[in-house]
């Protein structure tokens, strides 16, 4: 099947069936006999159209005689993919973007639909530099950067217009992929050499804000990462710098007992074990058996033997672990608004009422974590969101009931720490949006 048609069918699955973009892509790309360049094209098109869907629909509404709700879902996705190629994929010849889209449209609805798609795309091609966007500042941000208006208002209420626009731009800008070098198996310099031998342009990560992250590696886009010998040997784990910082803040030591309360898929769990030099014990909690299997697979590949996976709802107290841990990590359930750049479908799924529900779950997990950590131990709370209600708001409520036993610790190895809180922003720090705070038990 043509890769553009595969992309259209994937987009239908994501829109109509609520499929997660990364899972849907992986399943489709692994079950079709596709060349690497075809897989890359499909992935770019599906991610790109999902990321820019609001912008694309706005453009279609300007140049189509039919209203959006009168266009069939498959034909609408043909238009979206065609316009995305015309406006955002500079390596695709405009003639190919139009002609191939028309072919797919004909397969869905015959010559009449093909003519309709041809007319819209040709008009967009001629007028792409003259598209007028809404004058209202908030509506303009919503349409131009493709974010639901409700979410843009949420951001501007919290951060202001200028800060919000900078954040949206950063989320729509691709950053280099980062890898965490597995120091149990190799060194950053050797990993760079091994990757370059495999045809990957790699270099040790450098950021003056985070000088201690000398084990991070940045690489150009990798199309088939799981086939690399260095991946199979467990020399690295794909992880954003912000997520690496969480384990640095936790600072587990060899021989410690550590609990990772919400552990899947195991990125931070395995990083903790690496920091401990594979000595001690890490208990990885998750509520789903298949996610625990994923943690075990990652640990095995990385050569880690000290992780015990536990089928456990972190929101329910387990008396077996009370006062047992030197360090506890709560990487809490959250809206994920800090990682929209990597998972653009998140912005269409979240509603304002989600924040309250997620914050309540986070607080219940944190309350249990407080009982698991020993006196003198460390409790780290992190999220991949930038919203205060899910971050500082949760910690403030926690300290209202646990303030006698816990205190906020200044995080010395991150220079953006403010009164014990660290919030990282894509446009400020060049990493995923994240929140980290460190608590000490007395």
Per the CB < 8 A criterion, the answer to whether 100 and 41 are in contact is no
Alpha helices in 200-328 (DSSP H): 229-232, 241-250, 267-275, 289-301
Task: Please tell me the total number of residues recorded for the chain in this structure.
Answer: 442
Please list the residues that pair with 223 across neighbouring strands: none
Specify the DSSP class assigned to residue 319.
Answer: G
Q: Which one is catalytic: 327, 384, 417, 437?
A: 384
Per the CB < 8 A criterion, the answer to whether 261 and 318 are in contact is no
Q: How many CB atoms lie within 10 A of CB 168?
A: 24
Residue ranges with strand state E in 274-368: 281-286, 307-311, 325-331
> Quick one: CA torsion of 164, 341, 87, 92, rounded to 10 degrees?
160
Alpha helices in 177-240 (DSSP H): 188-197, 229-232
Task: Give the pair of three-digit tokens for residue 27.
Answer: 């399943």
Alpha-carbon span 430 to 432, nearest angstrom: 7
Extract long-range pairs of 364-367: CB within 8 Å, 24+ residues apart.
364/315, 365/261, 365/262, 365/314, 365/315, 365/330, 365/332, 365/333, 366/330, 366/332, 366/394, 366/398, 367/398, 367/401, 367/402
Cis peptide before 382 (omega within 30 of 0): no
Task: Give the pair of three-digit tokens for residue 428.
Answer: 């400020």
Alpha-carbon span 381 to 391, nearest angstrom: 9
Alpha-carbon span 424 to 434, nearest angstrom: 5
Alpha-carbon span 154 to 146, nearest angstrom: 15
Place of tokens 């910690």: 395
Place of tokens 């809404």: 134
Specify the DSSP class assigned to residue 418.
Answer: B
Q: How many CB atoms lie within 10 A of CB 206?
A: 11
Q: Is 384 a catalytic residue?
A: yes
Active site residues: 384
């Amino acid at each position: 099947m043509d890769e553009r048609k595969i992309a259209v069918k994937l987009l239908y699955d994501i829109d109509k069936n609520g499929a997660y973009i990364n899972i849907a892509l992986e399943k489709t790309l692994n079950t079709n006999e596709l060349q690497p360049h075809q897989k890359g094209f499909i992935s770019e098109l599906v991610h790109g159209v999902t990321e820019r869907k609001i912008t694309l629909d706005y453009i279609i509404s300007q140049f189509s005689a039919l209203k959006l709700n009168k266009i069939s879902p498959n034909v609408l996705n043909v238009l979206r993919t065609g316009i995305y190629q015309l406006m955002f994929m500079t390596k695709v010849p405009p003639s190919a973007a139009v002609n191939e889209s028309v072919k797919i449209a004909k397969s869905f609805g015959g010559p009449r639909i093909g003519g309709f798609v041809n007319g819209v795309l040709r008009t967009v091609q001629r007028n792409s530099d003259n598209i007028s966007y809404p004058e209202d500042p908030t509506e303009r941000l919503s349409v131009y950067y493709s974010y639901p208006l409700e979410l843009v208002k949420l951001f501007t209420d919290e951060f202001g217009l200028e800060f919000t626009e900078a954040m949206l731009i950063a989320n729509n800008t691709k950053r280099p992929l980062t890898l965490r070098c597995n120091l149990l198996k190799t060194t950053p310099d050797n990993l760079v050499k091994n990757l370059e031998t495999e045809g990957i342009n790699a270099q040790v990560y450098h950021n003056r804000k985070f000088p201690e992250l000398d084990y991070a590696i940045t690489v150009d886009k990798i199309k088939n990462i799981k086939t690399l010998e260095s991946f199979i040997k467990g020399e690295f784990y794909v992880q954003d710098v912000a997520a690496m910082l969480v384990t640095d803040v936790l600072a587990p030591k060899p021989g410690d007992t550590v609990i990772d309360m919400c552990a899947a898929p195991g990125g931070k769990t395995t990083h903790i074990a690496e920091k401990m030099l594979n000595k001690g014990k890490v208990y990885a909690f998750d509520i789903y058996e298949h996610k625990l299997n994923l943690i075990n697979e990652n640990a095995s590949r990385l050569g880690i033997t000290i992780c015990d996976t536990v089928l456990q709802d972190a929101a329910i107290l387990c008396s077996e672990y009370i006062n047992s841990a030197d360090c506890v990590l709560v990487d809490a359930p959250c809206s994920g608004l800090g990682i929209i750049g990597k998972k653009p479908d998140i912005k269409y799924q979240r509603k304002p009422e989600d924040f309250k529900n997620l914050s309540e779950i986070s607080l219940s997990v944190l309350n249990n974590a407080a009982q698991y950590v020993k006196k003198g131990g460390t409790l780290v709370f992190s999220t991949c969101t930038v919203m205060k209600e899910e971050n500082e708001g949760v910690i403030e409520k926690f300290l209202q009931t646990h303030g006698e036993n816990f205190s906020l610790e200044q995080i010395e190895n991150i220079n953006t720490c403010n009164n014990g809180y660290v919030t990282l922003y894509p446009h400020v720090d060049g990493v995923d949006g994240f929140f980290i705070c460190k608590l000490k038990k007395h």
